[in-house]
Structure 1
Amino acid sequence: MGSEPVNLQQSRPAATSGDLYFNRELSWLAFNERVLAEASNPNYPLLERLRFLAISGSNLDEFVMIRVAGLAGQVQRGIERLSIDGSTPSQQLAAVRERVVRLSLTQEKTWRELHEQLSANGIHVADEHRISPDAIDWLETYFLEEIMPVLTPQALDPAHPFPFVTNGGLGLLFTLTRQADDEQVIEMVLIPPALPRFVQVPGDDALFISVASLICRFADHVFPGFTIEGDGLFRVLRDSDIEIEEEAEDLVRTFRSAIQRRRRGRVIQLELEEDFDPVAEQVLLEQLGVSDAMVMRTDGIIGMSSLSEIVAADRRDLKFESYNPRYPERIREHDGDCFAAIREKDIVIHHPYESFEVVVDFIRQAAADPDVVAIKQTLYRAGNQSAIISALIAAAEEGKSVTAVVEIKARFDEEQNLMWASKLERAGVQVIYGFVDWKTHAKVAMVVRREEDGFRTYCHFGTGNYHPVTTRTYTDLSFFTAEPEFSRDAAKLFNFVSGYVEPRSTEALVISPIHLRDHLYGLIDAEIANALAGKPAAIWGKCNQITDQDMIAKLYEASQAGVEIELIVRGICCLRPGVAGVSDNIRVKSIIGRFLEHGRIYAFANGHAMPSSNAKVYISSADLMERNLDRRVEALIPIRNRTVHDQVLQQVLLANVLDSEQSWWLREDGEYLRAETPDKPFNCHHYFMTNPSLSGRGDALDPDAVPKLSLRKGRDA
């Protein structure tokens, strides 16, 4: 067990929490600002820039529904718990709302710039002036046949209760005058979520018209006998967090009920068109009861995430050149037999540069192999059409013992995961839901196979989800091994989740929340001891978030002892680098590029200059957050095989350290600055797309085929 974290308040009496830590919520918003900045990156094709704008919109929606809603709830209940930087919930809420408005304005500005450039390239979005008479006729027919049948206008008057607007729901309010008696009427038309946000008009140029504008254009078909005086589009975002009582008797039933409640959560944000009809607006504000909510007005697109529909336009010239992941030659050399390849030697696969299909094949082969007797797998997010799920079902139908740990608390995937759980159970799979108050976040699969010399267990450990879509864009690592100590530990992890049997000890894996925190403390303490003894001491880490105060304090302690620390943190970072006397030896950067950095890697110098074959290297499903260390089932996996070790440390992690084209440096004041581009810039994504990996190549790998990376020189010729 590691020593207690240093008391930084004693070591720097003048320091306050705000001097030592960044606010979590503001750090996340800074991350989304970096995502949004890529929408203005001239090095990217135009539709890829639009994709970044859409992603920033989707990110911001989720932030409002979860984090802003959480802060608003704390303020409403009078909770005064201070954040890591010493702010009260009300202080945070005020700062966050101000930053959200600023970010939204930047999104609108970016959209105006992209809108103009799209038009110059033959893609016209919401451009009513370009609609020819023939196009108007086509749109009217489309409206009458495809849109109007699913619309249900509703009058807003004492005889008609105000309709419920679901979370994320879009609606139109119309102010009308009945021609028969000049009576003023207000009608609401909720836009069904099944409808697309945009309709593409046939023609040589790509012309996209929003469904909302079509409804307004042809509203006389919806309201015959009325004069339309005004209209306005709005969108509602509601509190989407799910709280589950630990005493819940039936977790599945409780979650089904909670999902329904989420759709009806209190309004957190209301978005309105800038020219929203004032009479209708007053009715909307009163009926929704949005006195505490943010009201956002825009003259741009409501719901930036919907622009992803435009990104799907068939214009390859405005997108990244397509990339096809490599299938590992190591597997091909064994005629596609995953088990033979793994049995020969450990393998690590680097997604998305190497195909996730090998993970699917691992389970498929297990399902079809008559010598396989059992399969166990954790499922955190499996996606809409999961080949993994199909393989597990096939295995169960073949009579194999199949166990699936389905995490129904995976945010925004609860409903999908409940559906998969039911389907798996109907096929005969033993479905485990895990702990009520802990999420099972570890990515583990194990296959027990009968062989000549007895039973052998093959394991897969991942840093990312078994998700067919995200694996194409998320950078993650898949580690395959048949080493017995990993197999025994994997079995203990599954027993821990299914039977609450806490493992007293493990041989290879480090499992959270049992001893992962203490193990990391011990590794950091060893670096501190080496630094104090005059030996090389360094920590390299790559993760998505760092928010745990005690872990940050431990890293500060290491910095004070002289340990050189390099951190690549994609998203939230509450650690403040470069503080004199506290974090002088810590550098933090974030990489934002074509792919989403998602894999977690932790490396410790172990008395040798980094990067070294003697370093201790781990991959993990866990970020350095309190929830991952104390309230989730996670796995930290040591990398011991020499070839795999070299790939993870001296290829994957080192390339991230060296990246200069996609990196943002975190300054002491909390601002992120793009890394200065050197004479010979280095792009880690491009490097992995154009160079073979080490462990997955087998005999096909020419030792000189992979350009060697050097910490000092960048990349050698």
Structure 2
Amino acid sequence: MPARKTIDLKNRQYYFNRSLSWLEFNKRVLHEAFDPRTPLLERLKFMAIFSANLDEFFMVRVAGLKQQVESNILQGGADGMLPQEQLEAVRDYLLPVVKEQHRFFDQDLRSKLAQAGIFLVRFPELKPEQQAYLTNYFETQIFPVLTPLAVDPAHPFPYISSLSLNLAVLVRDQTTGEERLARVKVPNGFPRFIDLPTDLGKKDKKDEYAGAHWLGVPLEEVIAHNLVSLFPGMEVLAYYPFRITRSADLELETDKADDLLIAIEQEIRKRRFGSVVRLEVQNGIPPLLKQTLMEEMDLQEMDVYELEGLLCLNGLFSFLGLPLPEHKDPDWHPLVPSSFHRVEERESFFASDNEVKTLGTDYWESTAAELFSLIREGDILVHHPYHSFAATVQRFITLAAHDPQVLAIKMTLYRTSGDSPIVSALIKAAENGKQVAVLVELKARFDEENNILWARKLEKVGVHVVYGVPGLKTHTKTVLVVRQEPGGIRRYVHIGTGNYNPKTAGLYEDLGLFSCQDALGADLSELFNVLTGYSRQRSYRKLLVAPVTMRDRMMELIQREIAHAQAGGQGRIIAKMNAITDTQLIQALYQASQAGVSIDLIIRGMCCLRPGVKGVSENIRVISVIGRFLEHSRIFYFENNGSPEYFIGSADWRSRNLDRRVEAIVPIEDPAIGGQLKELLDLILADHRQAWELQLDGSYRQRQPAEGTPGQGTHQMLMDRALKEQALH
């Protein structure tokens, strides 16, 4: 037979650019706003999420590409695109998408809101009485806060803060006839949209706002139509809203910092003065004014986005607060998993009518003993937000903090909420005399200030707070509880895929494993020694730990599937992650596909792997699930010729996760839990409502349900399943 042609798997044609892949992900988010099946107010939510995501993309990714261009870096990624080429490609891709977003909101969603009794109107459309109401609101509430800033030879162009909404105001001096430019910042301390009493100005039932649930105008229009108060003696000629985005990446050399906390605080202060990377303006801005803004902020035409209608659509989040359940997703209240019902019942024994109570030693000893006995009976898997975070993870940490038998608690905190009950429990544990060690990741992007606050609070009560390993982010999600028991010391662990954040636990889909396996307890003890002390631990009993063992082990598991397939056995891989961009692992998957291994990837966001290429990746399929909850769990399945192995953890297949972060992935050895994971993966792979299939050209095609079927998506099916489980118990 003729020799098979060797294919160069490093060829750039086999890789998607990660920036463009991320933009494709965000476009799928935006589609939820366009999709008429999405409830009306949820459509506004997805509009806002799309905009907020874009802000971060510019602050981090675009800013990074601009820095590479300035540094004359002439090297691209696996796809071969140079930094300047990427910036141009981002612009070409994104401009029509954001224009369509603004057009759709202004011309479609606004009218649908009005049909539902939600009137977001323009100031001139209001009746005189309504305008008078807003003028009074301006004079008494807004005017005292505003500071108009002139722009002329005596007044240099003012500092513009990142993501702030501003008005460029053109005025004419009525004495000299000269035209001047001023800037007015729209203040942050007010609602994005100012509402009016819905009965104000109504004359009869035929009023156009009759039956309104909400009536209001954008804040900047209230300011714009009262500018004469800010410029007495001047004629206000015109105003033009604009918004800028600055670079927000911290430039920190952690290995050179004497005190990481102080160094990061200093960098956060510098962040507000980062270079401008984007200018958003409304259509119709005069070319000369646009050119002035560009010159003052050192921008090029490709950095400017001229958009229709409102700027800063992030504020649409506020409409989710309206009491209109018919226009929202049905409420979902996470359930207590059946395995935790015994603990729930024991707590009920001590409580009466859900009253706030003073809990004594008997309560803590009894309830904690019940929880730890559950874990001793076997590993437990929890799945958020279908399972309650408060009733499982939060309860585990809280009971450990109060249990007299617990000697020590160690955990990692990457992101948590501003009023975190987790941190409160750790503080209580320290006050109760337990040894508490917490790794607070100060470099968690955009949560740095919050984490610094918690780090200081924890330190004040005697918690051992550390900030991680120099040069690495600590991204792993782990808790270790050391308990004195009749048979000696026993270690209990929680290893998860998501942050210890009660608020996001209701929005993000994540998994967590409770266990008291000796090997896992020993592994976590050694991992925490790496994080808190000096250790060059190179091997672990069961955990896959980055950056020391995870990459090699994942490569071995893929190679094993290749070997099984080549020997005529079953070669099968299913991997669920947020992103896959690592070239080495992508090439390994290509080799597996060439060997006949069947591969399904469930990748929510960036995917640099190109599926379906003949002779390279024809056995690889990629889907993305977008919907009510943010898919965040990482699950890895290897068929192993009929003896499958399962893993969950915190790491994506990205170089940063495998090489520049501390991550942990845990093997799932209980066959029943493995079966649950396989059932979950199969359910997602069969989704014909929320799933999108990655095409050969890098675009995504949303799956559609069969004709005549409702096409229930993953999230709804899992909520239904949780409710059925509760009914059975």
TM-score (norm 1): 0.92
Equivalent residue for 1:573, pick from 590, 607, 611:
607
For the residues of structure 2 that align with 1:544 and 1:573, how far apart are their CA atoms? Answer: 9
2:581 counterpart letter in structure 1: T
Map of 1:117 onto structure 2 = 112
Cα shift readout 1:358-386 (whole Å, capped 9, x = no counterpart): 21111111111121111111011112221
Cα shift readout 1:390-447 (whole Å, capped 9, x = no counterpart): 1111111222111110111111111111111111111211111012311000000111
SS at match of 1:692: helix
Map of 2:452 onto structure 1 = 418
Map of 1:543 onto structure 2 = 577
Matches within 5 A, 1:489-500: 489-500=523-534
Following TM superposition, by how much is the alpha carbon of 1:640 offset from its aligned partner in structure 2, in angstroms?
1.0
Following TM superposition, by how much is the alpha carbon of 1:222 offset from its aligned partner in structure 2, in angstroms?
2.0
Cα shift readout 1:33-86 (whole Å, capped 9, x = no counterpart): 111111111211111111111111111111111111111111111101122111
Equivalent residues of 1:377, 1:405 under 8 A apart: yes
Cα shift readout 1:87-141 (whole Å, capped 9, x = no counterpart): 1111111111111212211211321321121122111224335423332222122
Following TM superposition, by how much is the alpha carbon of 1:687 offset from its aligned partner in structure 2, in angstroms?
1.3
1:675 counterpart letter in structure 2: R
Map of 2:362 onto structure 1 = none
Equivalent residues of 2:10, 2:78 under 8 A apart: no
Following TM superposition, by how much is the alpha carbon of 1:465 offset from its aligned partner in structure 2, in angstroms?
0.7
2:297 counterpart letter in structure 1: L
Answering whether residue 280 of structure 2 is matched by residue 271 of structure 1, we say: yes
Map of 1:645 onto structure 2 = 674
Equivalent residue for 1:688, pick from 715, 718, 722:
718
Map of 1:480 onto structure 2 = 514
Equivalent residue for 1:97, pick from 88, 91, 97:
91
Map of 1:388 onto structure 2 = 422
Equivalent residues of 1:440, 1:632 under 8 A apart: yes
Cα shift readout 1:592-619 (whole Å, capped 9, x = no counterpart): 11111110000000112xxxxx310000
Map of 2:35 onto structure 1 = 41
Equivalent residues of 2:401, 2:429 under 8 A apart: yes
Map of 2:204 onto structure 1 = none
2:549 counterpart letter in structure 1: H
Answering whether residue 134 of structure 2 is matched by residue 139 of structure 1, we say: yes
Answering whether residue 689 of structure 2 is matched by residue 661 of structure 1, we say: yes
Following TM superposition, by how much is the alpha carbon of 1:195 offset from its aligned partner in structure 2, in angstroms?
2.4
Matches within 5 A, 1:277-426: 280-291=289-300, 294-334=303-343, 335-336=346-347, 337=367, 338-357=371-390, 358-426=392-460
Map of 1:185 onto structure 2 = 180
2:224 counterpart letter in structure 1: C
Following TM superposition, by how much is the alpha carbon of 1:347 offset from its aligned partner in structure 2, in angstroms?
0.8
For the residues of structure 2 that align with 1:225 and 1:449, how far apart are their CA atoms? Answer: 75
Cα shift readout 1:261-312 (whole Å, capped 9, x = no counterpart): 2211111101112233556544433322224760111122212212112233
Following TM superposition, by how much is the alpha carbon of 1:185 offset from its aligned partner in structure 2, in angstroms?
3.0
Map of 2:662 onto structure 1 = 633
Following TM superposition, by how much is the alpha carbon of 1:688 offset from its aligned partner in structure 2, in angstroms?
0.8
2:689 counterpart letter in structure 1: E
For the residues of structure 2 that align with 1:476 and 1:621, how far apart are their CA atoms? Answer: 10
1:116 counterpart letter in structure 2: S
Bigger shift: residues 164-173 or 20-29:
164-173
State the percentage of identical aligned residues. Answer: 42
Equivalent residues of 1:378, 1:444 under 8 A apart: yes
Following TM superposition, by how much is the alpha carbon of 1:678 offset from its aligned partner in structure 2, in angstroms?
2.8
Map of 2:201 onto structure 1 = none
Answering whether residue 82 of structure 2 is matched by residue 88 of structure 1, we say: yes
Matches within 5 A, 1:222-261: 222-245=230-253, 246-261=255-270
Following TM superposition, by how much is the alpha carbon of 1:147 offset from its aligned partner in structure 2, in angstroms?
1.3
For the residues of structure 1 that align with 2:617 and 2:534, how far apart are their CA atoms? Answer: 40
Equivalent residues of 2:538, 2:549 under 8 A apart: no
Following TM superposition, by how much is the alpha carbon of 1:532 offset from its aligned partner in structure 2, in angstroms?
1.0
> Which residues of structure 1 form unaligned runs of 5+?
1-8, 609-613, 703-717
1:144 counterpart letter in structure 2: E
SS at match of 1:333: helix
For the residues of structure 2 that align with 1:91 and 1:303, how far apart are their CA atoms? Answer: 27
SS at match of 1:691: helix
TM-score (norm 2): 0.91
For the residues of structure 2 that align with 1:344 and 1:666, how far apart are their CA atoms? Answer: 42
Map of 1:715 onto structure 2 = none
Answering whether residue 92 of structure 2 is matched by residue 62 of structure 1, we say: no
For the residues of structure 1 that align with 2:424 and 2:141, how far apart are their CA atoms? Answer: 34
Answering whether residue 148 of structure 2 is matched by residue 153 of structure 1, we say: yes
For the residues of structure 2 that align with 1:676 and 1:281, how far apart are their CA atoms? Answer: 44
Map of 1:4 onto structure 2 = none
Map of 2:616 onto structure 1 = 582
Following TM superposition, by how much is the alpha carbon of 1:577 offset from its aligned partner in structure 2, in angstroms?
0.6
For the residues of structure 2 that align with 1:422 and 1:145, how far apart are their CA atoms? Answer: 39
Following TM superposition, by how much is the alpha carbon of 1:226 offset from its aligned partner in structure 2, in angstroms?
1.9
For the residues of structure 2 that align with 1:693 and 1:601, how far apart are their CA atoms? Answer: 23
For the residues of structure 1 that align with 2:19 and 2:383, how far apart are their CA atoms? Answer: 31
SS at match of 1:635: strand
Map of 1:621 onto structure 2 = 650
Equivalent residues of 2:281, 2:306 under 8 A apart: yes
Q: Aligned residues, how many? A: 684
SS at match of 2:100: helix
Query: Cα gap change, 1:591/1:552 in structure 2, threshold over 3 Å: closer, same or farther?
Result: same
Map of 1:564 onto structure 2 = 598
1:194 counterpart letter in structure 2: G
Bigger shift: residues 204-213 or 461-470:
204-213
Query: Cα gap change, 1:279/1:607 in structure 2, threshold over 3 Å: closer, same or farther?
Result: closer
Bigger shift: residues 534-543 or 142-151:
142-151
SS at match of 2:99: helix
Bigger shift: residues 674-683 or 297-306:
674-683
Equivalent residues of 1:348, 1:477 under 8 A apart: yes
Equivalent residues of 2:165, 2:312 under 8 A apart: no
Bigger shift: residues 640-649 or 507-516:
640-649
For the residues of structure 1 that align with 2:415 and 2:123, how far apart are their CA atoms? Answer: 41
Equivalent residues of 1:658, 1:682 under 8 A apart: no
For the residues of structure 1 that align with 2:135 and 2:449, how far apart are their CA atoms? Answer: 37
Cα shift readout 1:125-178 (whole Å, capped 9, x = no counterpart): 243354233322221222122211211112222333322111112211211223
Matches within 5 A, 1:524-543: 524-543=558-577
Equivalent residue for 1:455, pick from 484, 489, 506:
489
SS at match of 2:248: coil
For the residues of structure 1 that align with 2:287 and 2:223, how far apart are their CA atoms? Answer: 19
For the residues of structure 1 that align with 2:648 and 2:136, how far apart are their CA atoms? Answer: 56
2:687 counterpart letter in structure 1: D
Map of 2:359 onto structure 1 = none
For the residues of structure 1 that align with 2:672 and 2:130, how far apart are their CA atoms? Answer: 61
SS at match of 1:403: strand
For the residues of structure 1 that align with 2:37 and 2:457, how far apart are their CA atoms? Answer: 45
Bigger shift: residues 426-435 or 542-551:
426-435
For the residues of structure 2 that align with 1:637 and 1:77, how far apart are their CA atoms? Answer: 40
Answering whether residue 111 of structure 2 is matched by residue 79 of structure 1, we say: no
1:481 counterpart letter in structure 2: S
Map of 1:675 onto structure 2 = 703
Equivalent residues of 1:647, 1:693 under 8 A apart: no
For the residues of structure 2 that align with 1:317 and 1:134, how far apart are their CA atoms? Answer: 31
> Which residues of structure 2 form unaligned runs of 5+?
199-210, 348-366
1:175 counterpart letter in structure 2: L
1:412 counterpart letter in structure 2: F
Equivalent residues of 1:64, 1:237 under 8 A apart: yes
Query: Cα gap change, 1:184/1:341 in structure 2, threshold over 3 Å: closer, same or farther?
Result: same
Equivalent residues of 1:231, 1:277 under 8 A apart: no
Answering whether residue 7 of structure 2 is matched by residue 12 of structure 1, we say: yes
